[in-house]
Amino acid sequence: MSKVKFFNGESIPLEMHKVMIVQKLELPPIEKRLEYMQKAGNNTFLLNNRDVYMDMLTDSGVNAMSDQQQSAMLLADDSYAGSETFTRLTNKLTELFGTEYFLPAHQGRACENIIMQTFVKEGSIIPMNYHFTTTKAHIGLNGGRVEEIIIEEGTNVTSKHPFKGNMDTDKLQGLIDEHGKEKIAFVRMEAGTNLIGGQPFSLQNLKDIRKICDENGLMIVLDASLLTDNLYFIKEREEACKDMTIREITKEMMDLCDIIYFSARKLGFGRGGGISTSSKELYLEMRELVTLYEGFLTYGGMSVREMEALTVGLEESMDESIICQGPQFIEYMVNELEKAGVPVVTPAGGLGCHIDAMEFVSHIPQHEYPAGALAAALYIVSGVRGMERGTMSEQRDEDGNEVLSNMELLRLAMPRRVFTLSQVKYAIDRIIWLHGHRELIGGLRFTDEPKSLRFFFGELEAVSDWQEKLVEAFRKDFPDSL
């Protein structure tokens, strides 16, 4: 936890920043929250932010900017072509990643669109440690297929493995032997593996993958959206890297990859995204699509102001005392919940705290969306908004059957530099209360189910009056609390 030791021996994360701009929050009473949740079709994506006390839906585009970032925004050079702002951003990426070329894009999935259109063909196979929703969709759209070859520990909910995001290199070799290297478009590694709980891969794992890729003439494409958490964990957990600086780890990691892309809504406390590479050939292959889908080559759909903020944010991402904040707050939350017997994904990862809904509400069958039901229940009892990452986030197969997710998680993202410890403690308290009343929580069923990306827009209803009963139980314990 924090490098500062407390006299009373307590171990809590210490904010290494002060708050200079604030946004007022509302905490509507539970009766109102029940009404809002039902009106939102029990889908936390459809809640209005003004009705949310702690927005832990995502870490995307909601990280707090620093004073340095805000002031840099005023210096932006607003020109269509040849903007100084773009030069500054490209130079910063060259400095940190060692990559000469940069293609700007409006966000992470736009980078995926460009990369997949360029390199994925009908029948292509793309091995990866684990998929991300938008990645998989873009690969599918281009006729390719995802092969998840994460190590077996990766999908174990509780574990002591420090690098659950590692790829199983034997399985990678196996895929190459089975299908032939010609079928493989590239190998994708995702830093801070999102959907399994923000879990990192080790630098050694990436080196091992590089070796196999070199032997077979394959490219490595790195999804660096959640890079900073992964860097922090490498420094903390990988013996061989403990004396390296974050900057050195970054450089060594990027040297092992052919193409690096990222969502700047996550990386660099910014908004936007982009693709970096040292290869002129790869750069030229992708370049045209930027102008087709994103904008001219020196902004790619981003405003110059967000590019300036990103340039500074990338520099801040190399500061260990800044990037430790997310993982340390998450670790605190995970540890406190674990102590209270609440099932959480361990070890604590980046991105957020992940509650294991499969275990928390083990009485709810998967086709009644345990993680979605838990997300609705938590909002009702606390005003905290999380995100379902389970069966609801899957898509039905061609015959319309449910595809049951191998994990049912409620993700409580920890936006960077946003919440104070007392707010985190409030969330912990309400989760523990809810866990004590978990048998009251029931399932959900769709009333309106879109075919694609149903977790974004779908509406559901409770299968019984369990939500009203939950409110009654809350009122018994908290007669006059919000």
Tokens for 276, please give them. Answer: 């970096």
The residues in 252-281 that bind ligand PLP, with binding defined as CB under 6 A, are 263, 265-266, 273
Site for ligand PLP (CB under 6 A): how many residues? 16
For residue 331, the minimal CB distance to ligand PLP (Å) is: 20
354 binds ligand PLP (CB under 6 A): no
For residue 146, the minimal CB distance to ligand PLP (Å) is: 13
Using CA atoms, how far residue 467 sits from 45, 149, 176, 386, 388, in Å, is: 18, 39, 50, 17, 17
DSSP-derived secondary structure for 306-365:
HHHHHHHHHHHTT-HHHHTHHHHHHHHHHHHHHHTT--B-SS--SSEEEEEHHHHTTTS-
For residue 133, the minimal CB distance to ligand PLP (Å) is: 8
Residue type, 443: G
| Residue 156, C-beta contacts closer than 8 angstroms, at least 6 positions apart | 164
For residue 58, the minimal CB distance to ligand PLP (Å) is: 8
Question: Rounded distance, CA 109 to CA 91, Å?
Answer: 23
Which residue minimizes CB distance to ligand PLP?
Answer: 108
Which of 12, 14, 32, 60 lies at the binding interface for ligand PLP (CB under 6 A)?
A: 60
Question: Rounded distance, CA 238 to CA 236, Å?
Answer: 6
Between 106 and 430, name the residue whose CB sits nearer to ligand PLP.
106
Between 224 and 374, name the residue whose CB sits nearer to ligand PLP.
224
Other CB atoms closer than 10 Å to residue 45's CB: what's the count? 16
Between 49 and 321, name the residue whose CB sits nearer to ligand PLP.
49
Tokens for 190, please give them. Answer: 């995702």
Between 303 and 423, name the residue whose CB sits nearer to ligand PLP.
303
Between 42 and 113, name the residue whose CB sits nearer to ligand PLP.
113
CA atoms in the 13 A half-sphere facing the CB of 272: 28
The catalytic site residues sit at 80, 132-133, 223, 266, 389, 455
The residues in 179-238 that bind ligand PLP, with binding defined as CB under 6 A, are 190, 194, 223, 225-226
**Cα radius of gyration rounded to whole Å, the chain:** 22
Which of 66, 79, 118, 134 lies at the binding interface for ligand PLP (CB under 6 A)?
A: 134
109 binds ligand PLP (CB under 6 A): yes
Q: What residues line the site for ligand PLP (CB under 6 A)?
A: 60, 107-109, 132, 134-135, 190, 194, 223, 225-226, 263, 265-266, 273
